[in-house]
Amino acid sequence: MGLTGDLAGRDAEVRALRAALDDGTGAYLVGRAGVGKSHLVERVATLAAGDGYEVVRARATASSSELPLGVFLTQLGASERFLTPMFTEIRDRIVERAEGRPILLCVDDVDRLDDASAVLVHQMVTSGDAKLIATLRRGRMAPGEILDLAQRGELRRLEIGPMTRDAAEAMAEHVLGAPLDHASHQRLWEATAGNALFIREVLLSAQETEQLLTTPDGISLAELPLRSPRLVDAVKGRLAHLSPELHQALLHLAFAEPCGTAELTSVADTDALAALEAAELIETSLDQRRLSVRLAHPLHGEVLRASTPLLQRRAILATLARDLQATGARRRSDIVKLARLAVDGGVDVSVDLLVRAASLVYHNGDPVLCERIGRKAFEASNRFDAGWELANCLYQAGDLRAFREHVPAWRASATNDAQQLAVAMLEAQNEFWYAGDMARVEAITAEALATYPEDVGEGGGERNELVANLALFVTLAGDPQRGWQLAEPLLELGPSAALTRRAGSASTALGHLGP
């Protein structure tokens, strides 16, 4: 039967550890924080105890590393001996307690062993008194004594990676005692990337904050509990060893990722980024010729962003905007990113950049960001093109009320007939599609055609385009005969930017009329 719970999908690793013990060797498990190394060791320790081993569990910590033999002091009874006899006494106590049974030393975070404890472990293993299973966080250096054991063949190195998707899903359902729906499994996988610790903390945090819903398809995790004190503490606890400078760099990266190194100039030099990479907190890759940086774990970014106070967040975004601006923001993606950072961080950038960014975001299908950027551009300039981008965003979002509120100011910014016609055309489209008010559409179109007789002017629309617009709506509203009457004369006109719209209106009318 396969393992369940925190060890779901870890059968191969447990077999490898047990095989190492059966062969007379031990092992040390290497992997990122939270992947389940300690749970694996505990499982094997429990099995070994059942097989007759005397199991000695020790967890090295920052505080125990300051004391000679600190991690093994619990093995002593009352004693008044000095350090040298204490070394021997600890060893003798362990051997005596075993009463001839094999001894298994299980050491968590072996890199934090003090020197005397490392020597004790080394001597007990090389003398044949004990076997060792230990854990080592990736990016840290094992003590020389542990490396010597590995080189002598007394220890095997076993890499422990994140859980597979199936294993992560099995663990999640074990933690909750009930199945999750598909969307929740997907959300959890994207956030935790198979990290056993984070799977548990996310689900227990969601349980504590009552963010789990019972549905016919299973338990639903609608949102990640990113502000849950439990989850925030779990993530920040993993980063507590960082210096203030490195933590600040990581926090800025959470808001900038993915980004180039130049975008972090104000908070992180090359040495700082190298230190974060060595600690496996960030990952780097080449994006064409640019070195791209991102956080190594998605949940770190989610929690850091969600738990950052608003004023601090604004200051971070402003710093990032200025650093990106200093690079020249040459790529299209840089333009959108700079606009977003500048708008949210309160940094002034050119209206031309904001207008271009709003257009790019609009065509990428993100009306929420498009509105933020477009509104900032229009409020800062009262330019027609900026107003057009904002109007398009509101149209795409289907926000009729906001669009209607925007129209008067946008219309006032128009400087020629063509621009006024463009306002009328988009206004008619909104009223038809979102209000279904055909009378209003007719009135807007008639007034614009009567008021603005010329198509001249940059950055606007054409009278014929407005008529084609009306022909389409009349047809869709149930009068294809009139729609065809409006559209047919337009087809005889020469080619222009509005030809596609004219042809579309005419073909729709004909389709509704039938053969």
pLDDT digits (tens, 9 = 90+) for 291-319: 899 999 999 999 999 999 999 999 999 99
Is residue 386 one of the residues assigned to a domain?
A: no
Is residue 298 one of the residues assigned to a domain?
A: yes
Domain of 325, CATH number, reads: 1.10.10
Residue 206's pLDDT band (boundaries 50, 70, 90)?
very high
pLDDT digits (tens, 9 = 90+) for 86-140: 778 888 889 989 999 999 999 999 999 999 899 999 999 999 999 999 999 887 8
Of 454, 456, 468, 377, the closest CA to residue 425 belongs to: 468
pLDDT digits (tens, 9 = 90+) for 190-204: 999 888 889 999 999
Q: What is the strand order of the sheet 54-59 is part of?
A: 54-59, 103-108, 130-137, 26-31, 155-159
Is residue 387 one of the residues assigned to a domain?
A: no
pLDDT digits (tens, 9 = 90+) for 215-270: 998 999 989 999 999 999 999 988 988 999 999 999 999 999 999 999 999 999 99
Residue 478's pLDDT band (boundaries 50, 70, 90)?
confident
Residue 515's pLDDT band (boundaries 50, 70, 90)?
low
Q: What is the strand order of the sheet 290-295 is part of?
A: 259-260, 290-295, 282-287
> So what's the pLDDT on residue 64?
80
Residue 9's pLDDT band (boundaries 50, 70, 90)?
low
Clarify whether residues 142 and 176 are in a common domain. Answer: no
pTM of the model: 0.75
Average pLDDT over residues 43-60: 92
Clarify whether residues 181 and 86 are in a common domain. Answer: no
> So what's the pLDDT on residue 420?
94
pLDDT of residue 83 exceeding 90, the answer is: no
Clarify whether residues 183 and 274 are in a common domain. Answer: no
Please give the tally of structural domains in the chain.
3
The CA-atom distances, in angstroms, between 132 and each of 104, 158, 246 are 6, 13, 34
The whole domain housing 169 covers 165-233
Clarify whether residues 30 and 105 are in a common domain. Answer: yes
Domain stops at, among 323, 344, 365? 344
Clarify whether residues 265 and 135 are in a common domain. Answer: no
**AA identity, residue 135:** T
Clarify whether residues 99 and 208 are in a common domain. Answer: no
Is residue 84 one of the residues assigned to a domain?
A: yes
Confirm if 167 and 160 have CB atoms less than 8 A apart: no
pLDDT of residue 409 exceeding 80, the answer is: yes
